[in-house]
A = this chain, B = another copy of it.
Amino acid sequence: MRDAYHEHLDGLNASLVRLTGLVAGALGRATQALVDADLDLAQQVISQDADIDAMYADIEQQAFDLLARQQPVAGDLRAIVTSLRIVADLERSGDYATHVAEVARRRHPSPAVPAQLAPTVLEMGQMVQRIVAKAGAVIASRDLRLAAEIERDDDVIDALHQRLFGVLLDDGWDGGVEAAIDVILCSRYYERAADHAVSVARRVSYLITGERVVEPI
């Protein structure tokens, strides 16, 4: 049987997994709002960021209480400090969902993303949603194979970001400056959200293997 202390540690981990789910959902809905020019959905994502922030504060407090009361050492200490990092990464990813939703709201009722780029933006948003969900699975399972998958998924995101850049900078681009700015900002938000998911996966891997990954994201 697990003692109360290890139950608290498990609880902290479970909270991180739940938060990851909230953030992945926010990214998915923000993407939907963006490509559908759906104002209600955009508003929902923006107002639900408060739930993510509340959960962030709650997890911080849980971690802090464990540090203060239990004075953990070695592996447990490392796990708790890592939780503090992970929760910050997740909160930032959630912010990027809000930023995408804000772009959708700013251009409503016009769509922020021109039809010709919508498939690429949709692919990018959905991929980021899956990457973040996968980061949750890594936290839950501590599966190194899954953590490695996230690195490869992130390369796809970077390639999509470059593809959008290429289209917008091509002489044939006639969609105007406003659309170009909106698309590049959203693309950049997705790229950053995915980077934070990679960071989460690396932090969990470091906990398991003790090897720090220093490659640039």
| Chain A residues engaging chain B, CB cutoff 8 angstroms | 53, 57, 64, 67-68, 71, 73-74, 77-78, 81, 84-85, 88, 165, 168-169, 173, 176-178, 180-181, 184-185, 188, 212, 214
SS of A interface (majority): helix
Chain B residue contacts of A212, Cβ below 8 A = 57
B188 touches A177 (CB 8 A): no
Chain B residue contacts of A74, Cβ below 8 A = 68
Chain B residue contacts of A88, Cβ below 8 A = 85, 88
The docked-state distance in angstroms from the alpha carbon of A77 to that of B53 is 23
The docked-state distance in angstroms from the alpha carbon of A185 to that of B180 is 12
The docked-state distance in angstroms from the alpha carbon of A74 to that of B71 is 11
The verdict on A178 contacting B169 (CB below 8 Å), with A84-B81, A88-B85 known, is: yes
Would you mind naming 12 contact pairs between A and B with Cβ atoms under 8 Å apart? A67-B77, A67-B81, A68-B77, A71-B73, A81-B84, A88-B88, A168-B177, A168-B181, A173-B177, A177-B177, A184-B185, A188-B188
Most buried by B among A68, A168, A177, A212: A177
A169: contacting residue among B71, B81, B168, B177, CB under 8 A:
B177
Chain B residue contacts of A68, Cβ below 8 A = 73-74, 77
Add 17 more A-B contacts to A57-B212, A177-B177 (CB < 8 A).
A53-B214, A64-B77, A64-B81, A67-B67, A67-B77, A68-B77, A71-B71, A85-B88, A88-B88, A165-B181, A168-B177, A168-B181, A169-B178, A180-B180, A184-B184, A184-B185, A185-B188
